[in-house]
Amino acid sequence: MPRAFPKKPPAPLNAKPVEYVEKTPTVQSYLPEIFRGIGTSMRHWFKNTRDLIRGTRPDPVTERWADGITTIAYPEQKRPYPERFRGVHRLTVRDDGSPRCVACLCCSTACPAQCIYIEAGEYPEGDKRRGYERYPVKFVIDELRCIFCGFCVEACPCDAIRMDTGIHAVPYDSRDQFLYDKDILINFVGRDGTRETSNPRHEPGDPTHPGITRDHISH
Amino acid sequence: MPTFKLDGKEIPFEPGDSIIKAAARQGIEIPHYCWHPGLSAPANCRMCLVEIKPGPQQRAMMLDVLEFDPSINDYRPAQKPKLQPACQMPAVEGQEVLSETSPHVLKARKTVQELLLLNHPVDCPICDQAGECKLQDYWLEHQKTQKRMRDEPIHKPKAVVFGPTIVYDAERCVMCTRCIRFMAEVAKDPVLDMRERGNLNEICVAPGRQLDGHYTFMTEHVCPVGALTTKDFRFKARVWFLRSAKSICQGCATGCNAWLDYDPRYNKAYRYRPRDNEAVNKYWMCDGGMLSYRAAHVGRVTSAKVKGKTVTVEAALSEVTKRFSDTSRESIAFVLSAQHSLEDNWALREVARLAGSSNIYVTGAGPGYKDDILIDEDKNSNTAGVVELVPSLRPFPQLIEDIRGGRVTQIIALGGVTPRNDPEDVTALGMVSTLVTVAAHEGALTEAAHVVLPATSWAEQSGTYVNRQGFRQVADKALEPQGASRPAWEQLRALALALGLEPTWTKLKDIRKELTVSAAAVQSAPAVEPSPAP
């Protein structure tokens, strides 16, 4: 059977010198191109230096010299994140504090890193949502696997998962600390400081969800 | 064979075929909800409408309609041909049918699809049918527009418990009546019917009854949408994560062809679906069979045991060597299993032949419920196969009698299940000096065994099973072997080596080759007919 990675054949004892490539004008024509490239770089360097001295171009480092400090003391100080920065996930809640998630596994399907694990369950007997919806019995995100692409947020039909906490992924001591379960995720707040979202949600009892009996049906 | 033209293509048909059936046989799908190849055609979903061109001496039946003309921003009178349901119109020699090529048909499909989705809750994220739903497929194929109705849809009962196995959601239902017709025509128990009319239409169970019996799971399977869900599969998995393996139901001697759906990520089986085979089970399976996928995980032997203690397979094999070292191999009794595949039984028969023993018995589950539809009295999947291997088998009661009579003192057995639940059997099995069992499932034999070697179940290995009709049917491997279990023929090979024999097989291929030679005269299983998608 042929090997997938064949062994390197031993060097032949009767080695032959490789023929040296003759330095013809065609071969040597790369030299002018190199000098042209260096020339372009130098042109930009001189232009930038001139702008710097004239003060027409702000410098990211020297503009802070006025404060006397050029660096920030992370993590005590943090540079502001852009508005749509994708931070650690959170699970949004309904008005009664239960998760909006219906365990449809759309996020888990969309996730390219396969870092979301969900176990779906039915609401217990007597719950008004029983029959309409299911809920996540387990909802675990492996933040170590997550690549923070935001596909899960895009995929969610219920606005139940968001990445608007503004929290940068945190380093931990062990791998299992990166497994964020439902309780952790649901207790993160968004940047507006709430655990809800402003998007409305239909609940059983609304006119859109009149009930699971046929009492409301009239002829 | 007579032919007709569908979109300009010649379609052969057998007299009596409907257009949709003849097309489906040629692999052309005319979209449908209510039609099912195994059921009658009520033509109530109107999805399969086609245009049938009039004959040479006939005039086309045209309907006067109003058509919106954007150029005058008003409706103007127009005509369109009367469309016919392909599921009910018999195919006629030489007739010309337009399906994909008729603009009227395409418009009708789009409109029917929009109508069916008018009151649909579109709760695909929490619907178990999502991913294998006809509404989703046909929306993408034929509609692709949003619904124009701005009113609140009609709300109907949800999560209605129909019986011990089935839950019904009236809002998702498209009223195709497949479940009603299945119960009436195949299960012969017309317990379902519909009530109300129009958009309040819903399926209901006969008063005082519930949806029970031996064929309730099939109502869920024939349902083209997510209206009927089984309590067993409800909320358990998303179908797009599942993979399907061709399998054979192990519930009884009928040997229904099935798809075993499993999740490769968790190495777990989730459900059975019937696999269409006109010669064996048509399109159906029974409830017990549909639930028998659980046996891939429940009651399994997953580690080698010596006197009930879990040990490594190597330790168990050296125990076998020790126990059989000072006895003659001719006196060993071999017990085949009607619940294991032909390959496994062949391997044990081969061990018996190499050992020079002719004491071959058989075990398996005892008889049970039977009916005239699918369920067989014999609850073993491979009885015919074992009989085919060893025509002069001695039954299990004979083994007990021979143990009592002192004629059998050492046993090498396949399978753990015994046909009777008799305490006397346990006593008798306790009398033998050595009982070695290669088993996938726990039973009286594994309880009594001195050495147990774990075998894979039918879901974890490829195996051949001979059903009651004598068809050899192959079940493919779905799951990876659980625990220390290996295919029984592989364990038997190790066992033969431990006994000091020289096994004649090393691979499954060797056994398959032997089996094809030995059974050249035996009728081979018919290929699964390319049957139309239900």
Give one DSSP letter per residue of B108-148, joined into a string: HHHHHHHHHTTT----GGG-TTTTS-HHHHHIIIII-S---
Cis peptide before A75 (omega within 30 of 0): yes
**Helices marked H in B97-244 — which ranges?**
103-116, 134-138, 178-181, 217-222
* Residues B385 and B337: beta-carbon distance below 8 Å: no
Closest-CA residue of chain A to B122: A157
Q: CA–CA separation, A167 vs A169, rounded Å?
A: 6
Q: What phi and psi, each to the nearest 5 degrees, are found at residue B20?
A: -65, -35
Q: CA–CA separation, B121 vs A105, rounded Å?
A: 19
Q: Are residues B213 and B255 in the same domain?
A: yes
Closest-CA residue of chain A to B236: A120
| pLDDT at B529 (0 to 100) | 45
Question: What 3-state class would DSSP assign to B493?
Answer: helix
pLDDT tens across B443-470, in order?
A: 999 999 999 999 999 999 999 999 999 9
**Which of the pair, B523 or B274, is modelled with greater confidence?**
B274
Instruction: Measure B116 CA to nearest chain A CA, in Å.
Output: 19
Instruction: Measure A195 CA to nearest chain B CA, in Å.
Output: 22
Q: Are residues B317 and B344 in the same domain?
A: yes
| pLDDT at B525 (0 to 100) | 46
The stretch B100-115 carries a mean pLDDT of: 94
Structure tokens at B444: 């009286």
| pLDDT at A210 (0 to 100) | 64
| pLDDT at B331 (0 to 100) | 82
Q: For residue A3, how far is the Cα from the chain centroid?
A: 40
CATH classification at residue B248: 3.30.70.20
Say how many CA atoms lie within 13 Å of B293 toward its Cβ: 28
Instruction: Measure B34 CA to nearest chain A CA, in Å.
Output: 25
Q: Are residues B192 and B227 in the same domain?
A: yes
Q: Are residues B31 and B168 in the same domain?
A: no
Instruction: Measure B158 CA to nearest chain A CA, in Å.
Output: 5
Structure tokens at A22: 């003759």
B393 pLDDT band (50/70/90 cuts)?
A: confident
Tell me whether residue B18 is in a domain: yes
Q: What phi and psi, each to the nearest 5 degrees, are found at residue B239?
A: -65, -25
Q: CA–CA separation, A90 vs A80, rounded Å?
A: 20
Which stretches of chain B sit within 8 Å of chain A by CB? 124-126, 130, 152, 155-160, 169, 200, 234-236, 238, 240-241
Work out how many domains chain B is built from and give that number: 3
CB B200 to CB A217 under 8 A? Answer: yes
The stretch B285-309 carries a mean pLDDT of: 94
| pLDDT at A12 (0 to 100) | 67
The parent domain of residue B58 ranges over: 3-116
Q: What phi and psi, each to the nearest 5 degrees, are found at residue B246?
A: -65, 125
A103 near B CB under 8 A: yes
User: Has the ipTM of the complex gone over 0.85?
Assistant: no
| pLDDT at B530 (0 to 100) | 41
The stretch A126-138 carries a mean pLDDT of: 84
Q: Are residues B88 and B172 in the same domain?
A: no
Tell me whether residue B506 is in a domain: yes
CB B125 to CB A208 under 8 A? Answer: no
pLDDT tens across B406-443, in order?
A: 888 899 999 988 888 888 888 899 989 999 999 999 99
Q: CA–CA separation, A122 vs A137, rounded Å?
A: 9
Closest-CA residue of chain B to A219: B200
pLDDT tens across A22-39, in order?
A: 888 888 889 999 999 999
A202 pLDDT band (50/70/90 cuts)?
A: confident
A132 near B CB under 8 A: yes
Question: What 3-state class would DSSP assign to A206?
Answer: strand
Q: CA–CA separation, B225 vs B469, rounded Å?
A: 34
| pLDDT at A55 (0 to 100) | 75
Within 10 angstroms of residue B245's Cβ, the number of other Cβ atoms is 17
Structure tokens at B494: 């190790």
* Residues B210 and B183: beta-carbon distance below 8 Å: no
Structure tokens at B332: 């060993």
Tell me whether residue B154 is in a domain: no
CB A121 to CB B235 under 8 A? Answer: yes
Instruction: Measure B226 CA to nearest chain A CA, in Å.
Output: 13
| pLDDT at A95 (0 to 100) | 87
Tell me whether residue B263 is in a domain: yes
Using CB atoms, pick whichever of A102, A121, A132 lies closest to residue B158.
A132
The stretch B323-336 carries a mean pLDDT of: 86
Among B84, B101, B116, identify where a domain stops: B116
Tell me whether residue B87 is in a domain: yes
The stretch A1-17 carries a mean pLDDT of: 68
pLDDT tens across B66-83, in order?
A: 999 999 999 999 999 999
Q: Are residues B284 and B199 in the same domain?
A: yes
pLDDT tens across B229-247, in order?
A: 999 999 899 999 999 999 9
**Over the range B326-345, which residues count as b (16 or more CB within 10 Å of their CB) and which as e?**
eeebeebbbbbbbbbbbbbb
**Which of the pair, B182 or B527, is modelled with greater confidence?**
B182
A218 pLDDT band (50/70/90 cuts)?
A: low
| pLDDT at B520 (0 to 100) | 54
| pLDDT at A59 (0 to 100) | 61
Q: Are residues B381 and B487 in the same domain?
A: yes
B532 pLDDT band (50/70/90 cuts)?
A: very low
Q: CA–CA separation, B524 vs B528, rounded Å?
A: 12
| pLDDT at B496 (0 to 100) | 94
Lowest mean pLDDT among A192-206, B105-119, B489-503: A192-206
Using CB atoms, pick whichever of B125, B158, B238 lies closest to residue A102.
B125
User: What sign for the dihedral angle of Cα B242, B247, B250, B253?
Assistant: positive
| pLDDT at A63 (0 to 100) | 61
Structure tokens at B322: 């020790």
Q: Are residues B402 and B475 in the same domain?
A: yes
Q: Are residues B355 and B464 in the same domain?
A: yes
Residue B404 reports pLDDT greater than 60:
yes
Structure tokens at B429: 């099995």
Q: Are residues B322 and B288 in the same domain?
A: no
Q: CA–CA separation, A153 vs A140, rounded Å?
A: 15
Q: What phi and psi, each to the nearest 5 degrees, are found at residue A49?
A: -65, -40
In the 8-state DSSP scheme, what is residue B5? E
* Residues B245 and B262: beta-carbon distance below 8 Å: yes
Within 10 angstroms of residue B235's Cβ, the number of other Cβ atoms is 18
Q: Are residues B278 and B308 in the same domain?
A: no
Order of all β-strands in the sheet with A116-122: A116-122, A134-142, A179-180
Among B296, B317, B345, identify where a domain stops: B296
| pLDDT at B3 (0 to 100) | 94
Lowest mean pLDDT among A210-214, B41-45, B128-132, B468-472: A210-214
Q: CA–CA separation, B283 vs B173, rounded Å?
A: 22
The stretch B174-192 carries a mean pLDDT of: 95
Bridge partners (DSSP) of residue B453 are B438
**Residues 6+ away with beta carbon under 8 Å from B456:** B440, B481, B482, B485, B486, B487, B488
CATH classification at residue B455: 3.40.50.740
Q: Are residues B217 and B242 in the same domain?
A: yes
Among B81, B98, B116, identify where a domain stops: B116
Average pLDDT, chain B: 91
pLDDT tens across B117-172, in order?
A: 999 988 898 899 999 999 999 999 999 998 888 888 888 888 889 999 999 999 99
A158 near B CB under 8 A: yes
Lowest mean pLDDT among A8-22, B199-213, B349-363, B396-410: A8-22
Tell me whether residue B151 is in a domain: no
Residue A217 reports pLDDT greater than 80:
no
Tell me whether residue B346 is in a domain: yes
